[in-house]
């Protein structure tokens, strides 16, 4: 399938794998790129050694890298480090991308900018980024509250109104060919997929956690700040993270002040539970699309399955199950 996104990056289907912090390493990114999508390493909060290792693992396969951009403000040298690896794209989210653009452009690297509000989308368009990703609140991981369904066409219309060359992708709740086709119908040039790749075999996720999470559906996720609070990660107030609910999250959601009060004890409990993949405490970052993912697959299997669905085109009667 050809879109402006596939032409721009030389892909064989309009899918970008989300740069999931701690989850999307070189193996996942390379597998997605090899299969015809755009694979991205999840540079996240910026661990220089980890990022270097993941680019080594990806080897000769062209992959990009994403950052939680406010982390770049603390460690600006990380940008030089990543640009030296000649990434296929740089994916920036969760802070103003403006300070980094000159350097990234000078390196000839395309900039993908993920936004959560129309206002931020306009800012990204003013900056002339190559791709803007309109992320809806059903997405796994951090974000805000806009619904994907209305947010994507609002940004697509603005791009058309301006006659802008910026491409647009949709993110949030897309896990299969139906979702990709819906994104295209909303005016997007492609889709960013996180949660389905979170469950891919190459993702850096404890298998026990994947198994227990796949037993749940979209109703079992929640947007919360509990996980950031217990990990002592100080996210700007406008963002929350969509996670799988756990008893721990249920206990503290809405009582973050109480959690802060008892933080040393609760932090120990959280860390022990992470080591044990204890489902009563741990709350992996996944989106509502978890209800569409049935089993762990290889990344190539995910792409092949989406490709097969796309090849059918829009046939509602054919889409009663995932992809095919």
Ligand X SMILES: Cc1cc2nc3c(=O)[nH]c(=O)nc-3n(C[C@H](O)[C@H](O)[C@H](O)COP(=O)(O)O)c2cc1C
Rounded least distance, CB 266 to ligand X, Å: 22
Q: Of 72, 73, 14, 60, nearest to 38 (Cα)?
A: 14
Rounded least distance, CB 66 to ligand X, Å: 5
- Of 219-227, 253-261, 279-287, 297-305, the window that binds ligand X (rule: CB under 6 A) is 279-287
Told to check if 286 binds ligand X by CB under 6 A, we report yes
How many Å separate Cα 93 from the centre of its chain?
10
How many Å separate Cα 293 from the centre of its chain?
16
Q: Of 43, 184, 162, 54, nearest to 112 (Cα)?
A: 43
What is the distance between the alpha carbons of residues 193 and 303, in angstroms, rounded to a whole number? 11
* Lookup: tokens for 40: 């991205």
Told to check if 140 binds ligand X by CB under 6 A, we report yes
Told to check if 195 binds ligand X by CB under 6 A, we report yes
Rounded least distance, CB 79 to ligand X, Å: 15
Q: Which residues, 39 to 78, sit near ligand X by CB under 6 A?
A: 42, 44, 66, 68
Rounded least distance, CB 163 to ligand X, Å: 27
Q: Looking at residue 68, what DSSP letter applies?
A: E
How many Å separate Cα 242 from the centre of its chain?
11
Q: Which residues, 152 to 191, sit near ligand X by CB under 6 A?
A: 171-174
Rounded least distance, CB 257 to ligand X, Å: 26
Told to check if 287 binds ligand X by CB under 6 A, we report yes
Per-residue H/E/C for 237-259: CCCEEEEECCHHHHHHCCCHHHH
- Of 5-13, 14-22, 230-238, 270-278, the window that binds ligand X (rule: CB under 6 A) is 14-22
Identity of the residue, 207 or 262, whose beta carbon is nearer to ligand X in the bound complex: 207
Told to check if 306 binds ligand X by CB under 6 A, we report no
What is the distance between the alpha carbons of residues 210 and 264, in angstroms, rounded to a whole number? 28
Rounded least distance, CB 238 to ligand X, Å: 14
Out of 65, 193, 210, 259, the only residue in the binding site for ligand X (CB under 6 A) is: 193
Q: Is 17 helix (H, G, I), strand (E, B) or coil?
A: strand
Cα-based angle 186, 192, 198 (whole degrees, multiple of 5): 140
Check residue 238 and give left, alpha or beta (phi > 0: left; psi -120 to 50: alpha).
Answer: alpha
Told to check if 200 binds ligand X by CB under 6 A, we report no
Footprint of ligand X (CB under 6 A):
18-21, 23, 42, 44, 66, 68, 93, 114, 135, 138-141, 171-174, 192-195, 198, 285-287, 289
């Amino acid at each position: 399938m050809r879109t402006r996104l596939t032409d721009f990056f030389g892909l064989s289907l309009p899918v970008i794998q989300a740069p999931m912090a701690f989850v999307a390493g070189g193996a996942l990114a390379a597998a997605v790129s090899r299969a015809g999508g755009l694979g991205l390493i999840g540079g996240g909060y910026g661990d220089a050694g980890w990022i270097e290792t993941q680019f080594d693992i990806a080897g000769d396969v062209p992959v990009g890298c994403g950052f939680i951009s406010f982390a770049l403000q603390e460690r600006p040298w990380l940008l030089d480090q990543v640009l030296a690896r000649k990434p296929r794209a740089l994916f920036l989210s969760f802070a103003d991308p403006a300070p980094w653009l000159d350097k990234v452009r000078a390196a000839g690297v395309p900039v993908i900018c993920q936004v959560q509000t129309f206002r931020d989308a306009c800012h990204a368009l003013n900056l002339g980024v190559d791709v803007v990703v309109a992320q809806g609140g059903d997405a796994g991981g951090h974000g805000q509250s806009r619904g994907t369904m209305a947010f994507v066409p609002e940004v697509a219309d603005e791009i058309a109104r301006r006659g802008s060359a910026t491409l647009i992708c949709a993110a949030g709740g897309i896990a299969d060919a139906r979702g990709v086709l819906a994104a295209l119908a909303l005016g997007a040039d492609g889709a960013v997929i996180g949660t389905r790749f979170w469950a891919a075999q190459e993702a850096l996720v404890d298998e026990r956690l994947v198994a227990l999470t796949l037993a749940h559906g979209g109703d079992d996720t929640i947007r919360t700040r509990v996980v950031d609070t217990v990990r002592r990660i100080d996210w700007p107030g406008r963002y929350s993270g969509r996670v799988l609910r756990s008893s721990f999250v249920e206990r503290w959601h809405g009582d973050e002040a109480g959690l802060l009060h008892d933080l040393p004890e609760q932090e120990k409990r959280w860390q022990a539970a992470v080591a044990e993949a204890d489902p009563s405490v741990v709350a992996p970052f996944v989106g509502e699309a978890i209800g569409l993912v049935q089993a762990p697959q290889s990344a190539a299997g995910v792409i092949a399955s989406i490709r097969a669905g796309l090849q059918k085109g829009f046939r509602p009667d054919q889409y009663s199950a995932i992809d095919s």
